[in-house]
Amino acid sequence: MAEPKENEFLDDIADAEADAYAHLDELENEAIALDEVTAERDEYKERWMRALAEAENARKRGDKARRDAEMYGGSRLARDMLPVYDNMKRAMESITEEQKSAAPAVIEGIELTMRELLNVFKKHGLEIIVPEVGDKFDPNHHEAMFEAPVPGTKAGEIIQISAEGFMLHDRLLRPAKVGVSSMPA
């Protein structure tokens, strides 16, 4: 009768091994499920980080667009006002002493209008580029209207100013129109 106890014992061991293997299968299945959940979490985290970065980039682009619109949104209007400035300047330069004494109120009105125009330009970030004869030609701020060999000058020096230039904040709105010396060295 020792055999049935031994068989029962062997059966118990076999059952225990089967339970252990079943438990291992469950652990493996749980580990696989945990790995899948972890991978899914990592994927969502990566997507979230990308979305966050995209939102931040969109915010920065929007801020830059807003700043540019504030600073340069009126550039077309400003560019259209430059001939008004040119004409006012020519009008002021052409006033004679006789005209000043004949119509002082009109002349004062023209001068006040010019001052106000310059104040508006300054208020909105418009700066006048005023080159001087003898300055070095700068293609970033000047436009050469002609070249001429003028004795007593060096090549690349400004010899005449046809029109002043304008900057709108840090952007060139209109280059100064100048004549440049082409005198050989």
pLDDT tens-digit profile, the chain (185 residues): 446 666 777 777 777 777 777 777 777 778 888 889 999 999 999 999 999 999 999 999 999 999 988 888 888 999 999 999 999 999 999 999 999 999 999 999 999 999 999 999 999 999 999 999 999 999 999 999 999 999 989 999 999 999 999 999 999 999 999 999 998 76
Same domain, 91 and 145: no
**Beta partners for residue 143, in sequence order:** 177
Residue 33 corresponds to which tokens in the numbers above?
């499920």
Query: Which tokens belong to 75?
Result: 């550039």
The residue among 124, 142, 163 that closes a domain is 124
Task: Tell me phi and psi for residue 112, to 5 degrees.
Answer: -65, -40
CATH number at residue 148: 2.30.22.10
Predicted local confidence at residue 4, as pLDDT: 62
Give kind and range of the element (H or E) at residue 160. Answer: strand 158-163
Residues 22 and 87 in one domain: no
Same domain as 136, residue 119: no
Phi-psi region of 161 (alpha: psi -120 to 50; beta: other; left: phi over 0): beta
Say whether both 5 and 56 belong to one domain.
yes
Q: What is the extent of the structural domain holding 3?
A: 1-72
CA pair distance 146, 131, nearest whole angstrom: 15
Asked if 113 and 132 sit in the same domain, the reply is no
pLDDT of residue 185: 65
pLDDT for 3: 60
- Bridge partners for 179 per DSSP: 146, 160
Is the torsion defined by CA of 100, 103, 105, 110 positive or negative? Answer: negative
Domain count across the chain: 3
Per-residue pLDDT at 74 = 85
The pTM assigned to this predicted structure is 0.66
